């Protein structure tokens, strides 16, 4: 690979790593605001509760979203070796929860496409966390460089 291609790929990788950080901040904020509304009925920005979800489903929804955002940010900041594994488990939980919400409770016509896109995002991010040199160096996977 020539140096221009390698430099371009490195910039794309850096940009994607920042995008994951931004998405994690949004997830954490969204989860915290969702819990605030769930427990107090206060919606400082906009209503976040989905009235078609049962109370228990809604609570698990906010719990997993908050955990995913917080885990990635904390893991990234601390360079926790098991961050990719934890995120894979959380992505599997999010995808499972999304399947239940999509197939059992949601009524909007675009719900199936949204579900597929969400699952694709999880697969792409998890693949990047496990396969990219940048993430291997960041998290120092056991038996790998970093």
Over the stretch 96-144, which tens digit does the pLDDT of each residue have?
999 999 999 999 999 999 999 999 999 999 999 999 999 999 998 755 5
- Its pTM stands at 0.92
CB 28 within 8 A of CB 63: no
DSSP 8-state symbol, 81: T
* Model confidence pLDDT, tens digit, residues 20-64: 999 999 999 999 999 999 999 999 899 999 999 999 999 999 999
pLDDT of 6 strictly over 50:
yes
* Model confidence pLDDT, tens digit, residues 83-105: 999 999 999 999 999 999 999 99
Closest CA to 139 of 68, 79, 71: 79
The predicted structure's pLDDT at residue 1: 73
């Amino acid at each position: 690979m020539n140096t221009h291609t390698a430099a371009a790929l490195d910039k794309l990788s850096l940009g994607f790593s920042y995008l994951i950080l931004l998405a994690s901040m949004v997830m954490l904020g969204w989860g915290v605001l969702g819990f605030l509304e769930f427990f107090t009925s206060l919606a400082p920005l906009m209503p976040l509760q989905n009235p078609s979800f049962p109370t228990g489903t809604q609570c698990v929804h906010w719990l997993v979203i908050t955990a995913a955002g917080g885990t990635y940010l904390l893991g990234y900041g601390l360079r926790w070796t098991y961050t990719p594994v934890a995120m894979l488990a959380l992505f599997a939980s999010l995808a499972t929860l999304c399947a239940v919400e999509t197939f059992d409770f949601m009524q909007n016509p675009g719900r199936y496409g949204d579900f597929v896109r969400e699952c694709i995002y999880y697969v792409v991010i998890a693949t990047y966390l496990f396969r990219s040199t940048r993430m291997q160096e960041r998290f120092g996977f056991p038996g790998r460089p970093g």
